[in-house]
Amino acid sequence: MSDSTEPRGFSEEALRGLHDMELRLPPPEVYARLPPEQAPTPRPHYWGHRERLRLRFLAGGHAAMPEYELLELVLFNAIDRIDVKPLAKRLLAAFGDLNGVVAASEHRLLQVEGATPRVWLQLRIVEAIAHRMARAKVIQRSAIASWDELLAYCRTVMAYRDTEQFRILFLDRKNVLIADEPQARGTVDHVPVYPREVAKRALELNASAIILVHNHPTRSNRSRWITHKHAESLGNSRIFGLA
């Protein structure tokens, strides 16, 4: 058995038996003195790593933890009984950092060796919680007074996407954010947006101003030009203030 894979073909009952047997093994300093034929099988190097990592996190050491260890903690809930450190490091190498891993699409994520649909689901849960927490800091608050939090929220929900997205933040007369909605999702370098639909939705919400937010995964100049044209179209309507 390698360090990073569990035994193949073992039943759950058999795995529990192996686990219980391992727990009964004497510490290394005891069986190191035994003759080779009497020495039990050594413990894998990662045995007890999960519990040690959890305890260190709960003790307040998370601020100093490298990203791969935080990712390991998330992966524990998706993958049982094996060393997930190699997978955590492969994911970070593939997507750059923890933000990139959490925002990765299912298709790209499953291309990484060892990643499974359960891993993807666990990351989606983490992402949803992060979005809710960031949104709670800006919704029903003045966009002007909480501008930094608003920018942080937009980065959280859009900056690490590998496809273009067009979001609209709707404000009331006091510039309080009353709604935030993704208007459209597109490809890596294009997203369809219809100014008439934007205006229609703003009127439905009785919004007095809107903030248009658009990411550019490929930094396409054409995409940026189209964004400015949409802003001009809505600005010329003389219905909304734009930011």
Q: For residue 87, what pLDDT is reported?
A: 96
- Boundary (domain end) residue, out of 131, 148, 173: 131
* Residues 164 and 181 occupy one common structural domain: yes
Say yes or no to pLDDT of 203 above 70.
yes
* Residues 117 and 150 occupy one common structural domain: no
Q: For residue 6, what pLDDT is reported?
A: 43
**pLDDT of 79-117, one tens digit each?**
988 899 999 999 999 999 999 999 999 999 999 999 999
| Residue that wins the pLDDT comparison between 122 and 219 | 122
Q: Determine the Cα–Cα distance for residues 225 and 35; give it in Å rounded to an integer.
A: 76
Q: pTM (2 decimals)?
A: 0.64
Domain of 163, in residue numbers = 140-242
Q: For residue 7, what pLDDT is reported?
A: 41
- 209-214: strand order across its sheet: 177-185, 165-171, 209-214, 241-242
* Residues 90 and 181 occupy one common structural domain: no
Q: For residue 110, what pLDDT is reported?
A: 96
Q: Token pair of 184, please? A: 């459209």
Residue-averaged pLDDT of the chain: 77
Q: Token pair of 14, please? A: 């058999």
* Residues 145 and 124 occupy one common structural domain: no
Residues above pLDDT 70, as percent of the chain: 67
Report the number of distinct structural domains present in the chain.
2
Q: What is the CATH number of the domain that holds 159?
A: 3.40.140.10
Q: Determine the Cα–Cα distance for residues 228 and 209; give it in Å rounded to an integer.
A: 17
Instruction: Give the mean pLDDT of 64-72.
Output: 93
In a domain, 27, yes or no: no
- Boundary (domain end) residue, out of 103, 131, 159: 131
Say yes or no to pLDDT of 164 above 70.
yes
Instruction: Give the mean pLDDT of 198-209.
Output: 91
In a domain, 38, yes or no: no
**pLDDT of 175-186, one tens digit each?**
999 999 887 665
* Residues 63 and 144 occupy one common structural domain: no
**How does DSSP classify residue 26?**
P
| Residue that wins the pLDDT comparison between 34 and 208 | 208
* Residues 55 and 147 occupy one common structural domain: no
Across-strand partners of 170?
A: 179, 210
Q: For residue 18, what pLDDT is reported?
A: 45
- Boundary (domain end) residue, out of 131, 160, 190: 131
In a domain, 189, yes or no: yes
